[in-house]
Amino acid sequence: MFVIMSFVKKIQLFQRYLRFACFALLPLLAGCASHAVLIVKHNDHENIPYQAKCISKKINKQTIADALKKHIVDIDKQGQFSPIKFSINCPPDTLLEEAQAKEIEQLVEHIVSNLETENFQELLIYIHGGLVTREAGIESAVELTHAVLGEKNNVYPVSIVWRSGGWESYIDQLFNVRNGKVDQPLAIATSPFKLGSDLGRGFMDTPYAGGLEAHRLFLSLRNQLNDCLDVNGNNKETVICPEPQDFSALDKASDVLDTARYLLMTPVRIGTAPFVNGLGRSGYENMIRRTREAFLRDTYLPSEIDGHKGAVYLFFEELQKRITAQKPNVTITLIGHSMGTMLVNEIIRQFPDLPYKHVVFMGAAVSIRDFQNVVVPRLSNQETFRFYNLSLLPVAETREMNDSFNAIPSGSLLEWIDDMLTSPPALADRTLGKWANTRDVMLIFPEEARKNMTIRVFGERKGQPQEHGQFNDIKRCFWRESFWTARDGLEWDEHYKKCSDFLEKNLF
């Protein structure tokens, strides 16, 4: 018994040291984000409220309180609804302590009653992607709520916030989960071996990771990566391409310096690749698990009525029931970014009869196969909603740097998913959000489906996203239809000017 207790204590000490090391490295791997409206702090323990602080004079504490109480569905790492307790500090106002509805049914009832009393005609539901901390998810959800309601166009916004932080996901996978199921005693006991296995796999793949870096550099120097339409000439009514660009990594002094820095830091990126490849793969597996726990949980209390049902499933189940009975004329716009498209895809699969108007995938991490199995049949058989798939040019996907020092592997998150974090057995198992992938499979989608699709590929025009994480930047008004459909030139310039003017007046 003494030996067992001693071993457990050593494991617990190892766990604390690893957590410290991981969070010490977090600024390098995640960078830092600035939020112009508010800052949220949260200690992820029971009964500890969020602390929201205003840093914009154009938003007040009541606005934040309303957003937290009426417009955000917060989900914990086990897929359960996590009611928000919060205090707000908007100088010179004093702290205001409030709480969200305790049950998801109460929150849905509150949403539907607001749809009725305020005469909202459309429900806009947004789901963020992976590598987003809980605090950042709440911050962006409050910003989106304030912006959409500020337009006064009868649209009611709801944001679904799920736990997708990178290190958080890996730590959970290491110390709590084994083979898709929560088993903390087994996970803690085997955590040193799991860590060694992850790192060993990463180091064994170092030559391969170096080859990928060299390949991305080679591709980034080629103008062919700017091509939008493929050689077969996709339907121009379906695909919105950017203006032709004569890009080269060596055509300007700034490009020469960036390329030189890229080359000089290549050995460092190869050195950090084992950590991204090894630890990142397990962290990504846990993030996928969390998208699925939102619908079907593997842990629950025997006393729970709904058993294994996850919070997203419960939310849409209740929403479908309430809308059908109380607000039959409302329409729904679903917007998913990155891994959030995995949740949107599953929502459409399990709740196909909801009144969808628009379904928008931004930098979609969902696979082409999953999209083809779920969304394409709906697009082929009816005309009640339109689908939008938003992508970057391949050159932007390839050249994206993930930290200010160029010290970790290059490429967007979708590049990482296709090349390092997974091993797609076929083209259809690669990500839908990369234009280089979608371009090659467009013609396998039935013509009836393509008639209801818009593929938007962004270039380098001012205000357009240049990186994977910029799709959901509030400053681009990504919830507006013009963001999905405006062609380069006067259409796009008009969208961006109207967006900038509106946000300057109402948010920043």
Size of the chain, expressed as the number of residues it contains? 508
Could you tell me the pTM of the whole model?
Answer: 0.91
Give the integer Cα–Cα distance in Å for 110 and 380.
35
Report mean pLDDT in 10-residue bins for the chain, 508 residues. Answer: 46 48 41 65 73 88 92 93 91 84 93 87 97 93 96 95 93 93 93 94 84 76 64 67 67 64 81 86 95 86 65 96 90 98 98 96 98 94 86 89 83 92 95 93 90 93 94 96 95 97 92
Position of tokens 């062919």?
A: 224
End-to-end CA, the chain? 61
Angstrom CA distances, 54 to 41, 63, 65, 450, 473, stand at: 12, 10, 11, 44, 19
Taken in order 27, 28, 30, 31, the sign of the CA dihedral is positive
Stretch (H or E) spanning 98: strand 96-99
Residue 365 is predicted with a pLDDT of: 98
* Distances from the Cα of 143 to the Cα of 99, 159, 329, 359, 426, angstroms: 19, 10, 27, 21, 39
Q: What is the pLDDT of residue 146?
A: 95
Q: How far is residue 294's CA from residue 75's CA, in Å, rounded to a whole number?
A: 8
Q: What is the pLDDT of residues 357-393, one digit of tens each?
A: 999 999 999 999 999 999 999 998 766 789 999 999 9
CA distance 302 to 341: 31
